[in-house]
Amino acid sequence: MLKGVLFDLDGTLLDIDIDGFLSDYFGALGPVVAGVLGDGVDSAVGLRAVIESTSAMVASHPGRINRSVFNERFHQLTDVDLDLEEFALPFERFYAEVFPTLRKAIGPRDGAREVVQTALNLGLQVAIATNPIFPLSAIRERMRWADVLDLPVHAVTSYENMHSTKPLPGYFSETAKLIGATTQSCLMVGDDRVLDMGAADVGMRTFYVGAPPVPASDFTGNLRDLAALLPRLAEQDEL
C-alpha cells in the first residue's frame, strides 16, 4: 500500500532551466566566495573549490552529513573553515538576500501545488526529495518559487540532514525513513532519468514527469496525471 510520496523539486515541481539557473547562481556566488577567501583571490579559484567540495558530497561517505563533507573538503582546498561563524555568515547572507533575486521567470510546473496537496489530503507522507547539495534556506526559497512552501510536507532533504545524495541507494532509503515509510511503500516522482528513477534500485515505484525519451519507470505522465492516479494507488493493497 502506498504510504509516502517523494517529490523531486527542480524540473518536477519547479519549472526551471537548470543550466541557466546554475550559471546565474555561480555568477552571483563567485564574489561571495572570493570575499571569504580574502583579498586578491580570483572568484574562479573559489568556485572551483565549491565545485570540488560539492563533488565530495556526491561521492559515497556513509554515516557523514553532507554539509560536514562539503565543509571539510572546502577547508582542505582553501584553509577556510566554513564551520566557523565568521566564514559561514557571508554565505548565510547570500542565501537570505541574493539567492531570492535569482528567481527571474522561474515558477511552478503546471499542477505542482495541486499534486502535493492531493497527496497530503490522502493522508500520505510527503517529502520534498531534492538532491541535498544545497542548504535548507536555498531549498525553501525554491519551494516558494514552486508555490509549495506553505504546504505541511513531512520532510525536506537538504545538505544539513542527509548522509548521501541522489542517485545513491542510501539517499532513497534515508528519505523513506525520514517520513516513516519503507522504500517499498513509497513512490518517487521526478524528471531525471538517473537521479530520480534510481529510486527503483531500493524497491520504490517511480513516476517519470520528464521529457522523452521515457526511461524505465512504473508510471509516466504529467503532474495532473499523477494527481488523478494517487487516490487509486492509495487504495491498493499493494503498490
Helix (H, G, I), strand (E, B) or coil at 219: strand
Is there a contact between 210 and 193 (Cβ–Cβ < 8 Å)?
Answer: yes
> What is the residue-wise DSSP string for 4-72?
EEEE--BTTTEE--HHHHHHHHHHHHHHHHHHHH-TT--HHHHHHHHHHHHHHHHS--TTS-HHHHHHH
Is there a contact between 194 and 224 (Cβ–Cβ < 8 Å)?
Answer: no
H helices present in 85-210, as ranges: 85-93, 112-121, 136-145, 169-178
pLDDT at 19: 93
Pick from 207, 213, 210: nearest CA to 229: 207
Least confidently predicted of 32-41, 100-109, 171-180: 32-41
169-225 pLDDT, tens digit per residue, is 999 999 999 999 999 999 999 999 999 999 999 999 999 999 999 999 999 999 999
Residues 28-50, mean pLDDT to the nearest whole number: 87
Architecture field, domain 4-16+106-235? 3-Layer(aba) Sandwich (3.40)
Q: Which amino acid is at 203?
A: G
Round to whole Å and give the CA distance between 30 and 90.
12
Q: Which amino acid is at 140?
A: R
Looking at the DSSP assignment, which residues form a beta bridge with residue 121? Answer: none
Round to whole Å and give the CA distance between 197 and 200.
6
Whether residue 39 is predicted with pLDDT greater than 90 in this model: the reply is: no
pLDDT band with cut points at 50, 70 and 90 for residue 230? very high
Of all residues in the chain, the percent with pLDDT exceeding 70 is 99
pLDDT at 178: 98
H helices present in 135-222, as ranges: 136-145, 169-178
Question: Number of C-alpha atoms within 13 angstroms, CB side, residue 70?
Answer: 24
- Exposed (0-12), middle (13-18) or buried (19+): which is 113, by Cβ within 10 Å? middle
Residues 57-69, mean pLDDT to the nearest whole number: 97
Distance of alpha carbon 106 from its chain centroid, rounded?
16
119-145 pLDDT, tens digit per residue, is 999 999 999 999 999 999 999 999 999
Least confidently predicted of 19-28, 30-39, 118-127: 30-39
Looking at the DSSP assignment, which residues form a beta bridge with residue 127? Answer: 6, 155
pLDDT at 236: 85
pTM of structure: 0.96
Whether residue 25 is predicted with pLDDT greater than 80 in this model: the reply is: yes
Q: Which three cell numbers stand for residue 1?
A: 500500500
Round to whole Å and give the CA distance between 27 and 78.
19
In what helix (H) or strand (E) does residue 233 lie, and over which residues does it extend?
Answer: helix 223-235
pLDDT at 44: 86
Round to whole Å and give the CA distance between 159 and 116.
22
Of all residues in the chain, the percent with pLDDT exceeding 90 is 90
The domain locations on the chain are 4-16+106-235, 19-102
Mean pLDDT of the chain: 95
> What is the residue-wise DSSP string for 117-132?
HHHHHTT-EEEE---S
